[in-house]
Structure 1
């Protein structure tokens, strides 16, 4: 009986030792990996200037420019360590909102549109003062579709928020993430 007790105890100790070995092995091999999507060399690039984007679209939604500007600045503040400066940043982003358009879609047999597409277009000028090969001028667009049974003012805030988010992410990806 005593022999059985020591054998069980020995097996428990062996399992515990094996468990400790596995834990310490994985703990010592743990990778510290933080993915923020940027490929910024912070030893060279330290500052960013993001100018306000005026709304020059023919169809004007009054809060659009302010919402876009805040979203763009907040995204770079959240996902980079770049210091925002009002002028002459190592990275410089400027541009304008050039389009805010409604397009009827899915014309029904009655001749009326079943859906409407709202499209937001932003023109961006990007300057990297440390690497001129990265400079570009480009337009970014995003569209959202909604039922024509709804009035634009019923869905506009939500749709604009989604389009701004997509465009800001695309600007980030093309400027600092290099995707």
Structure 2
């Protein structure tokens, strides 16, 4: 009976020892208390007004919603900075021959690329500079304005900001 008690304790200890502490968002435990997101300047050749501000706010919101870190305007334990380096629209698929004998695009793709520099004052080995990119396809007959543009940018920024979060905090 005494051995059974030790075996049970050993079994419980080994079960929980490999489980690390994670929250429901997947962020690994960190020593940081604050984070700072500097303004992401739009340096792309094709400029869409306002996306620099939208991206900066989207990244701030995601980190605030998925961690218990406090947003600060300077001296953050974690620092996110960088720039939007590419904003481009490319035709993706062609339709049948048009009346003038050429082919027309059936679908276009908006691609946005962001360069990110991440610094962790508490653990400098986590620092990185990396490019993140994603795209959104939309029908070629649609103009990339209004609702179509807003949906495309929202989809792209959701993916890019989540990828940045995963790279800097989730460690997956």
TM-score range relative to shorter protein: 0.7 to 0.9
Moved over 4 A (4+): none
Match of 1:91 in 2: 78
Unaligned runs of 5+ in 2: 1-21, 98-102
1:39 Cα offset (Å): 0.7
Match of 2:69 in 1: 82
> What CA RMSD, in Å, does the superposition of the two structures yield over aligned residues?
1.4
1:38 to 19, 27, 42: 27
Mapped pair 1:170 → 2:163? yes
1:152 Cα offset (Å): 1.2
Question: How far, CA to CA, are the matches of 1:138 and 1:178 in structure 2?
Answer: 14
Match of 2:129 in 1: 137
For 1:113, what is the secondary structure of its paired residue? strand
Shift in CA distance, 34/46, structure 1 to aligned 2, threshold 3 Å: closer
Question: How far, CA to CA, are the matches of 2:143 and 2:25 in structure 1?
Answer: 38
2:104 to 112, 115, 122: 112
Rg (Cα) greater in structure: 1
Q: Deviations over 1:9-63 (max 9, x none)?
A: xxxxxxxxxxxxxxxxxxxxxxxx851211132xx31111111101111111112
Mapped pair 1:69 → 2:56? yes
Q: Which one has a larger percent strand, Structure 1 or Structure 2?
A: 2
Unaligned runs of 5+ in 1: 1-32
TM-score (norm 2): 0.79
Question: How far, CA to CA, are the matches of 1:178 and 1:132 in structure 2?
Answer: 14
Mapped pair 1:149 → 2:136? no
Q: Deviations over 1:116-145 (max 9, x none)?
A: 110011100001112121111001111011
Question: How far, CA to CA, are the matches of 1:76 and 1:48 in structure 2?
Answer: 8
Question: How far, CA to CA, are the matches of 2:23 and 2:164 in structure 1?
Answer: 21
